[in-house]
């Protein structure tokens, strides 16, 4: 018995060492935790971990830093070109560099976040060459034209600028007139329209004019007269297609329920609108309601198949004008039938 004990030594028990294996394991874990805490304390004396200790936060910070750096670089390049004169302006005052870097970024938040515009039929605008977009007009303040310009610039494969033909008043207003010229817009007259179309530009006209944007809310989406067909004449003389454009959503941004005609006459305005929020809430009432918008570009109506002299025939002009108007009206009805909610779409 004694010999076996000498050959196989007895395993020490807790009574021999004073500590079990479980105790030693707990001490080991506790020591490791203490080491981690000491290392963390040395790295972050304040006790707050940095973004580098969290992969997601680090990625977010890096992305934000990169975005800021890109914006600063872009702004620096913009000012360098403006100061050095490294940009072009055409005969109408259109400044593409200014439009792409100032005007479009100002309008995109309204287009993408506020009105959440959905665009369809953009492929009906040709990749090259002239075209005349003809659209309905509404909303008290003509934001529909600006949103249509963003739709064409950002959604068309060739990112073509939309050269709007606007009323004289737009160019007589301080600041606004200069911005309109730099953005590429010009007077709504046949000579300017024909020059743009002959140069291969995409122009836009809103034949309802002030009758459209100033009509009461009770007549929303009911098209007003399209005039004498001057836009059809310009398209025929230049042989460019007419693109009917239907805009849903613009009627609800400033619901016009009244008109202060005397005040409008004093101020030299075509109308002075009263809406549920304006002028009662002052400047706050100028914030447009966030209606959901749809802009659809219809199939082109060709004009280069008409006989020579058709552009001077009142009956032909009336027939084509009525066809364009009816196309836009029926498209509006179809889009409205699909819409379930003014603000949610």
Domains of the chain, with CATH numbers?
96-253+288-338 (3.40.1130.10)
| pLDDT tops 70 at residue 270 | yes
177 or 50, greater pLDDT: 177
Helix (H) or strand (E) holding 50: none
Structure tokens at 281: 């809430």
Q: What is the pLDDT of residue 61?
A: 85
Evaluate the CA torsion angle 32, 35, 37, 39 in order and state its sign: negative
How far, in Å, CA of 145 to CA of 247, rounded?
Answer: 10
- Which of 115, 179, 178 shows the shortest CA–CA distance to 148? 115
How far, in Å, CA of 183 to CA of 190, rounded?
Answer: 20
| pLDDT tops 70 at residue 96 | yes
* 125: phi then psi, degrees, rounded to nearest 5: -85, 125
| pLDDT tops 60 at residue 53 | no
25 or 331, greater pLDDT: 331
What is the pLDDT confidence band of residue 90, given thresholds at 50, 70 and 90? very high
Helix (H, G, I), strand (E, B) or coil at 59: helix
Does the reported pTM lie above 0.85? no
- Which of 149, 152, 153 shows the shortest CA–CA distance to 120? 152
| 91: number of Cβ within 10 Å | 9
Within its chain, how far is the Cα of 236 from the centroid? Answer: 32
Helix (H, G, I), strand (E, B) or coil at 125: coil
Contact 141, 317 (CB under 8 A): no
How far, in Å, CA of 1 to CA of 21, rounded?
Answer: 29
* Portion of the chain with pLDDT greater than 90, in percent: 72
- The radius of gyration of the chain's CA atoms, rounded to the nearest angstrom, is 34
71 or 132, greater pLDDT: 132
pLDDT in tens, 196-236: 999 999 999 999 999 999 999 999 999 999 988 899 999 99
Give the burial string for 322-344 (b: 16+ CB within 10 Å, else e).
eebbebbbebbeebeeeeeeeee
How far, in Å, CA of 187 to CA of 92, rounded?
Answer: 10
């Amino acid at each position: 018995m004694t010999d076996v004990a000498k050959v196989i030594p007895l395993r020490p028990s807790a009574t021999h060492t004073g500590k079990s294996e479980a105790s030693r394991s707990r001490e080991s874990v506790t020591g490791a935790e203490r080491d981690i805490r000491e290392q963390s304390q040395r790295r972050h004396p304040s006790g707050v971990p940095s973004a580098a200790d969290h992969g997601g936060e680090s990625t977010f910070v890096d992305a934000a830093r990169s975005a800021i750096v890109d914006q600063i670089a872009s702004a620096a390049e913009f000012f360098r070109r403006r100061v050095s004169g490294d940009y072009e302006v055409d005969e109408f005052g259109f400044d593409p560099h200014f439009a792409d870097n100032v005007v479009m970024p100002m309008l995109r938040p309204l287009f993408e976040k506020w009105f959440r515009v959905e665009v369809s039929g953009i492929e009906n605008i040709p990749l090259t060459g002239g075209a005349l977009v003809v659209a309905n007009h509404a909303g008290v303040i003509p934001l529909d034209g600006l949103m249509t310009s963003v739709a064409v610039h950002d959604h068309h494969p060739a990112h073509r600028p939309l050269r709007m033909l606007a009323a004289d008043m737009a160019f007589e207003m301080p600041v606004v007139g200069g911005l309109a010229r730099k953005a590429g817009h010009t007077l709504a007259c046949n000579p300017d329209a024909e020059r743009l179309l002959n140069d291969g530009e995409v122009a836009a006209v809103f034949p309802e004019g002030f009758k459209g944007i100033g009509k009461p809310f009770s007549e929303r989406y009911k098209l007003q007269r399209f005039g004498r067909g001057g836009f059809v004449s310009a398209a025929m003389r230049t042989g460019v297609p007419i693109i009917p454009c239907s805009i849903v959503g613009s009627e609800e941004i400033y619901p016009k329920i009244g008109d202060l005609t005397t005040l409008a006459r004093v101020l030299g305005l075509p109308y002075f609108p009263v809406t549920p929020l304006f002028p009662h809430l002052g400047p706050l009432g100028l914030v447009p309601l966030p209606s959901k918008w749809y802009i659809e570009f219809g199939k082109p109506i060709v004009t280069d198949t008409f006989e020579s002299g058709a552009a001077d025939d009142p009956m032909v002009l009336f027939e084509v004008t009525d066809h364009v108007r009816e196309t836009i009206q029926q498209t509006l009805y179809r889009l409205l039938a699909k819409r379930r909610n003014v603000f949610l779409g």
